[in-house]
């Protein structure tokens, strides 16, 4: 195939019209084309007076000799796996998030039928429990935004972009499309699925795994691991399941499991993470800041990604930005407040929101246990619950008031989207001093990069603590086994080896391949 790049489009055209314009410019006739695909579509908004789309298109010509004067490319092909696993004992996957589900897919497609254990409910029931909490404040510890089929990423923006150059990235995108995602995620520069699509896709993946001989068991929390001579022998949930291979795809909030692994002597190390708040703006203001007001192009809701290095050596950055989305109640335990963000695929909500985080290093929290970072998070979440009024209201504050260190007493033009409710507060009272001071220094500087980011009426909702796992379950770089337990494969975000849906899914694939290869 050939690739035609740098196709600048400054008007609203269909994909077919873009293709015809590209081949016309390169003196290719439509009848000479056998197949064509959009390879990449991005927005170039660096100059507000010249905002445009930038396309790259892959074309297969009927006469291959005519391809010689163009850049040639190979169509993606998933690497062949040498299946050497001889043991008939079924592998066990703990957790049905992206890492667990994609590990299950790879095993199934290569003739191995796993057992997937999920402490929460299936996604259909999970949605009901999340809604029940946001409306009636009835919280269920094992069925919420953190726990249940699909993992924490199910209730997010469904971002699939990553800086990871893994050969498995394309495989993940193709599998998502296969199970119901819009085809455009294959070529947009910043692909996303949205919560509304994710809930359907997750169900479809599960049904495929079951239809092909795998097992997916819900409401099955793993409570213990049997380890003999540094080898995994079984896992215990409502029953004992003997196995020689366990993919530990538990997610970044599996605190009970972190404790049990540490108790069993599995090597666990503390790691850096970040904490902060969610920040909300009007989406229309973000659109103007990013695109300007001149373009007539039909553009999607704008996003942003910002970073600032403070004078105290800390880094403040935005994370998991959700255009046209809402701030979500994301606690996984009673009497705590955790925030996250989500968007539907259309990203058509009134507000934009993003995590605004400050890095936390091991020296900030370590006392005598590798789990101390987890306790650091937990303490902050309890303080947010207290500040919010002990009723699952989240504490909120206008940016202007936060910088002045005064309690917010009225809401401006940006209305809070957090449910079940909010309490006007002073977040300086609960945030660690180094977090508050870094945010106060960073916000005016970030406003210079994105006009309006630091406006007085922008809303801060506390607290965001689960951007990544506070621990790393140490593993061998070659076999991906736990460093001291053979047959235990720490995987995905909870184990400290991923940072989002895409990288978690890729890590699930990697661990499944190691099992197939008999490593």
Question: Range of 46's domain?
Answer: 2-72
Claim to verify: residue 457 and residue 316 sit in the same structural domain: yes
Claim to verify: residue 286 and residue 375 sit in the same structural domain: yes
Query: Is the residue at 84 inside a domain?
Result: no
Query: Is the residue at 86 inside a domain?
Result: no
Q: Which two tokens stand for residue 425?
A: 């507060």
- Location of structure tokens 């949205």: 194
For the chain, the C-alpha Rg in angstroms (whole number) is 24
Q: Is 194 helix (H, G, I), strand (E, B) or coil?
A: coil
Claim to verify: residue 249 and residue 331 sit in the same structural domain: no
Residue ranges in the chain whose pLDDT is less than 50: none
Claim to verify: residue 441 and residue 385 sit in the same structural domain: yes
Claim to verify: residue 17 and residue 98 sit in the same structural domain: no
Final residue before a domain boundary, out of 43, 72, 101: 72
Claim to verify: residue 129 and residue 252 sit in the same structural domain: yes
Taking the C-alpha atoms of residue 466 and residue 359, their distance in angstroms, rounded to an integer, is 12
Work out the angle at residue 115's Cα, subtended by the Cα atoms of residues 109 and 120, and round it to the nearest 5 degrees.
120
Kind plus residue range of the DSSP H or E element containing 176: helix 169-178
Structure confidence at residue 163 (pLDDT): 67
Final residue before a domain boundary, out of 72, 104, 131: 72
Query: Is the residue at 128 inside a domain?
Result: yes
Query: Is the residue at 79 inside a domain?
Result: no
Taking the C-alpha atoms of residue 171 and residue 78, their distance in angstroms, rounded to an integer, is 7
Encode 46-66: b = buried (16+ Cβ within 10 Å), e = exposed. eeeeebbbebbbbbebeeeee
Claim to verify: residue 243 and residue 224 sit in the same structural domain: yes
Query: Is the residue at 238 inside a domain?
Result: yes
Query: Is the residue at 87 inside a domain?
Result: no
**Cis peptide bond upstream of 498, omega within 30:** no
Structure confidence at residue 400 (pLDDT): 98
Number of domains the chain contains: 3
Claim to verify: residue 43 and residue 125 sit in the same structural domain: no
Q: Which two tokens stand for residue 479?
A: 């076999």
Claim to verify: residue 108 and residue 199 sit in the same structural domain: yes
Query: Is the residue at 290 inside a domain?
Result: yes
Claim to verify: residue 305 and residue 413 sit in the same structural domain: yes
CATH code for the domain in which residue 221 is found: 3.50.50.60
Structure confidence at residue 164 (pLDDT): 65
Claim to verify: residue 317 and residue 263 sit in the same structural domain: no
Claim to verify: residue 22 and residue 154 sit in the same structural domain: no
């Amino acid at each position: 195939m050939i690739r035609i790049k740098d196709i600048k489009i400054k008007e609203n055209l269909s994909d077919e019209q873009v293709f015809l314009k590209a081949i016309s410019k390169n003196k290719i006739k439509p009848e000479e084309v056998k197949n064509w695909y959009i390879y990449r579509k991005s927005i170039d908004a660096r100059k507000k007076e010249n905002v445009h789309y930038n396309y790259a298109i892959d074309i297969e010509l009927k006469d291959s000799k005519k391809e010689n004067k163009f850049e040639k490319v190979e169509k993606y092909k998933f690497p062949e796996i040498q299946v050497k696993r001889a043991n008939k004992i079924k592998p066990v996957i703990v957790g049905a998030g992206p890492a667990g589900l994609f590990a299950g897919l790879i095993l199934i497609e290569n003739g191995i039928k796993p057992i997937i254990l999920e402490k929460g409910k299936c996604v259909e029931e999970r949605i009901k429990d999340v809604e029940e909490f946001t409306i009636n404040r009835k919280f269920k510890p094992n069925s919420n935004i953190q726990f249940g089929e699909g993992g924490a990423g199910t209730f997010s923006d469904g971002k699939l972009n990553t800086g990871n150059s893994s050969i498995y990235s394309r495989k993940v995108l193709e599998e998502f499309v296969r199970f119901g995602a819009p085809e455009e995620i294959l070529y947009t520069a910043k692909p996303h699925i949205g919560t509304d699509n994710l809930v359907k896709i997750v169900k479809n993946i599960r049904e495929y795994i079951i239809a092909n001989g795998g097992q997916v068991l819900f409401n099955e929390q793993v409570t213990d691991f049997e380890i003999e001579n540094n080898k995994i022998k079984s896992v215990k949930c409502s029953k004992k399941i003997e196995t020689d291979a366990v993919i530990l795809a538990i997610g970044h909030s599996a605190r009970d499991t972190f404790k049990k692994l540490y108790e069993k002597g599995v090597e666990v190390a503390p790691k850096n993470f970040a904490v902060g708040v969610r920040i909300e703006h009007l989406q229309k203001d973000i659109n103007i800041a990013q695109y300007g007001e001149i373009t007539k192009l039909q553009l999607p809701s704008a996003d942003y990604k910002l970073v600032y290095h403070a004078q105290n050596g800390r880094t403040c950055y935005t994370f998991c930005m959700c255009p046209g989305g809402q701030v979500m109640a994301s606690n996984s335990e009673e009497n705590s407040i955790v925030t996250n963000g989500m968007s539907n695929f259309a990203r058509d909500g009134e507000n934009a929101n993003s995590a605004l985080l400050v890095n936390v290093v091991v020296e900030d929290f370590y006392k005598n246990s590798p789990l101390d970072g987890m306790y650091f998070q937990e303490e902050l979440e309890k303080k947010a619950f207290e500040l919010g009024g002990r009723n699952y209201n989240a504490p909120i504050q206008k940016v202007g008031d936060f910088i002045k260190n005064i309690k917010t007493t009225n809401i401006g033009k940006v209305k809070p989207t957090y449910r079940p409710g909010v309490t006007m507060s002073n977040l300086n009272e609960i945030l660690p001093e180094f977090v508050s001071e870094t945010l106060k220094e960073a916000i005016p500087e970030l406003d210079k990069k994105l006009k309006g980011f630091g406006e007085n009426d922008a809303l801060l909702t506390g607290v965001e603590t689960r951007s990544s796992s506070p621990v790393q379950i140490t593993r061998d770089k070659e076999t991906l086994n736990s460093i001291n337990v053979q047959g235990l494969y720490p995987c995905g975000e909870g184990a400290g080896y991923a940072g989002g849906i895409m990288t978690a899914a890729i890590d699930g694939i990697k661990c499944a391949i190691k099992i197939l290869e008999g490593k």
